[in-house]
């Protein structure tokens, strides 16, 4: 993909040949029920509320209590190998910056870039090959020699450096804090957030889902958005819609708040480390199998020990918690976004990289629901491919 193609994707707004899959026009009084109050659902609800729509958010436990709470929440496009998916994630980064301009310092974001280094020559060669591909696509990043790496990270001991790279425009977010801010903004615009609210079923009439049934009663809706992470699969199955999901397990060690140590997200040879705006260090040693998470407290201590190899100041840090998260991954690894099955008013938004993608998906979902315009950048990611 050349730069012109990437810019074409970035500038794409919609296809003119849209089907009229919209119940209420912009600024109308339609009622949208969003199922799921993780980062994707919360951002969609906020954008819908900004458009003057009446919104109800249903969450089965508590906001940001599922995958979002246990996400590393690294904001990036550099890890994407598919050109359209890379471009979509690049739009996600732009969406976070737009949200930050709109909401302000209340939104817990940190833009310090991401620094990668490897001690193994073959791993370093792979790292630098990925950097070159990103540069060819026009992404901000460059190689670092060992002296530049040490100067950039004065409190870090990288160890042997066979290759290193900096991606300047990347960052991270406190995902729970972001959900709380977005839901507070949505509430201020009239949205209602209900939890715990377990969805027990749906009422269907023809090609519409007319209502959501919960233990608290029946909630009528003009549009329904399912953004419930791993729970989306069973909800859609109730309506005869296939969405195969897989998971990968991630273990994160979260420290108590620390003095300022890091601006950048670190992907070192021994550990992955970031510091949230609130001061907590979050670190990981990579993906693990579900069977490997027993004794998670001990594993958390080991992860923190690995992180201290790169950031010695962490040697005395106290663990606050250890999280075991299940990432939400559609079967082919790409987002599943769009109208679902035969229903003209049922929409799903389920994806890995949900934290990076949340702002741009919220924008596109809102446009497709309220304006009836299918967004070109979402064309590869429709649910129909799983039918």
Per DSSP bridges, beta strands 336-339 and 346-350 are: antiparallel
Nearest partner of 39 among 194, 182, 224, 187, judged by Cα: 182
Which of 305, 329, 353 terminates a domain? The answer is 329
CA dihedral over 35, 38, 40, 45, signed as positive or negative: positive
Tell whether the model's pLDDT for residue 316 goes beyond 80: yes
pLDDT at site 271 = 96
Q: Are residues 41 and 165 in the same domain?
A: no
Which residues make Cβ contacts (< 8 Å) with residue 127, sequence separation at least 6?
Answer: 116, 117, 118, 163, 164, 165
Nearest partner of 58 among 213, 174, 203, 244, judged by Cα: 213
Q: Are residues 182 and 136 in the same domain?
A: no
Q: Tell me the whole-structure pTM to 2 decimals.
A: 0.91
- Is 101 contained in some domain? no
- Residues 1-54: tens digit of each pLDDT: 443 344 344 433 332 223 334 334 333 449 999 999 999 999 999 999 999 999
Alpha-carbon Rg for the chain in angstroms: 21
Q: Are residues 255 and 190 in the same domain?
A: no
Give mean pLDDT, residues 274-280.
Answer: 96
Question: What's the mean per-residue pLDDT of the chain?
Answer: 91
- Residues 318-356: tens digit of each pLDDT: 999 999 888 999 999 999 999 999 999 999 999 999 999
- Please tell me the distance from the alpha carbon of residue 304 to that of residue 302, in angstroms, as a whole number: 5
- Is 81 contained in some domain? no
Q: Are residues 239 and 250 in the same domain?
A: no
pLDDT at site 20 = 32
How many CA atoms within 13 Å lie on the side-chain side of 158?
26
The torsion angle over the Cα atoms of residues 107, 108, 111 and 114, rounded to 10 degrees, is -140
pLDDT at site 98 = 98
First to last CA, the chain: 29
pLDDT at site 248 = 87
Which residues make Cβ contacts (< 8 Å) with residue 81, sequence separation at least 6?
Answer: none
| Number of domain units in the chain | 2
Backbone phi, psi, residue 337, to 5°: -140, 125
Nearest partner of 6 among 111, 103, 96, 85, judged by Cα: 85
pLDDT at site 286 = 57
- Please tell me the distance from the alpha carbon of residue 170 to that of residue 75, in angstroms, as a whole number: 6
Give mean pLDDT, residues 128-157.
Answer: 97
pLDDT at site 27 = 39
- Is 228 contained in some domain? yes
Q: Are residues 158 and 261 in the same domain?
A: yes
Which residues make Cβ contacts (< 8 Å) with residue 90, sequence separation at least 6?
Answer: 6, 10, 77, 139
pLDDT at site 297 = 62
Q: Are residues 359 and 240 in the same domain?
A: yes
Q: Are residues 183 and 154 in the same domain?
A: no
Q: Are residues 214 and 274 in the same domain?
A: no
* Residue 340 tokens, joined: 């679902």
- Please tell me the distance from the alpha carbon of residue 245 to that of residue 267, in angstroms, as a whole number: 27
Instruction: Output DSSP code: residue 311.
Output: -
Tell whether the model's pLDDT for residue 314 goes beyond 90: yes
Confidence at 161, pLDDT banded by 50, 70, 90 = very high
What are the DSSP calls for 89-137, one per residue? HHHHHHHHHHHHHHH-TTS-EE---EEEEESSHHHHHHHHHHHHHHHHT
Please give the angle made by the CA atoms of 63, 68 and 74, to the nearest 5 degrees.
140
pLDDT at site 298 = 85
Tell whether the model's pLDDT for residue 180 goes beyond 60: yes
CATH at 9:
3.50.50.60
Collapsed DSSP state (helix, strand, coil) of residue 166: strand
- Residues 78-101: tens digit of each pLDDT: 999 999 999 999 999 999 999 999
Q: Are residues 234 and 282 in the same domain?
A: no
- Residues 189-223: tens digit of each pLDDT: 999 999 999 999 999 999 999 999 999 999 999 99
Q: Are residues 230 and 122 in the same domain?
A: no
Contact 258, 280 (CB under 8 A): yes
Q: Where are the alpha helices (DSSP H) in the chain?
A: 3-11, 39-50, 83-103, 121-136, 146-152, 175-188, 232-237, 296-310, 354-371
CATH at 127:
3.30.9.10
Residue numbers of the domain that contains 185: 3-70+176-244+331-386
Q: Are residues 239 and 359 in the same domain?
A: yes
Which residues make Cβ contacts (< 8 Å) with residue 28, sequence separation at least 6?
Answer: 52, 53, 370
Give mean pLDDT, residues 300-315.
Answer: 95
Q: Are residues 127 and 66 in the same domain?
A: no
């Amino acid at each position: 993909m050349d730069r012109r193609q990437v810019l074409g994707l970035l500038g794409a707004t919609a296809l003119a040949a849209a089907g009229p899959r919209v119940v209420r026009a912009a600024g109308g009084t339609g009622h949208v029920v969003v199922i799921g109050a993780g980062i994707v659902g919360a951002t969609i609800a906020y954008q819908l509320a900004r458009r003057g729509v009446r919104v109800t958010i249903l969450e089965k436990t508590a906001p940001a209590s599922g995958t979002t709470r246990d996400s590393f929440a690294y904001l990036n496009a550099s890890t994407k190998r598919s050109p359209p998916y890379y471009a979509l994630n690049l739009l996600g980064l732009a969406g976070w910056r737009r949200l930050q301009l709109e909401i302000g310092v209340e939104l817990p974001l940190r833009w310090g870039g991401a620094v990668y280094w490897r001690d193994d020559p073959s791993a370093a060669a792979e790292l630098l090959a990925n950097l070159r591909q990103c540069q060819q696509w026009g992404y901000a990043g460059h190689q670092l020699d060992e002296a530049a790496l040490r100067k950039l990270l004065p409190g870090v001991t990288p160890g042997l450096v066979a290759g290193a790279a900096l991606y300047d425009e990347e960052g991270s977010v406190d995902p729970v804090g972001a959900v709380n801010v977005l839901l507070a903004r949505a509430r201020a615009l009239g949205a209602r957030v209900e939890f715990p609210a377990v969805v027990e079923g749906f009422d269907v009439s023809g090609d519409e889902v007319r209502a959501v049934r919960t233990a608290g009663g029946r909630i009528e809706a003009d549009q329904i958005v399912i953004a419930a992470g791993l729970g989306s699969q069973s909800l859609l199955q109730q309506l005869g819609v296939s969405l195969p999901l897989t998971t990968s397990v991630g273990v994160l060690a979260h420290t108590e708040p620390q003095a300022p140590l890091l601006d950048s997200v670190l992907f070192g040879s021994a550990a992955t480390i970031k510091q949230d705006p609130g001061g907590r260090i979050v670190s990981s040693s990579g993906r693990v199998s579900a069977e490997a998470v027993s004794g998670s407290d001990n594993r958390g201590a080991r992860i923190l020990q690995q992180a201290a190899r790169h950031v010695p100041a962490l040697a005395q840090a106290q663990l606050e918690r250890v999280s075991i998260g299940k990432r939400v991954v559609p079967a082919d690894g790409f987002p599943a976004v769009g109208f679902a099955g035969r229903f003209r008013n049922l929409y799903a938004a389920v994806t890995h990289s949900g934290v990076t993608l949340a702002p741009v998906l919220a924008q596109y979902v809102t446009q497709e629901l309220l304006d009836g315009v299918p967004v070109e950048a979402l064309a590869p990611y429709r649910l129909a491919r799983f039918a």
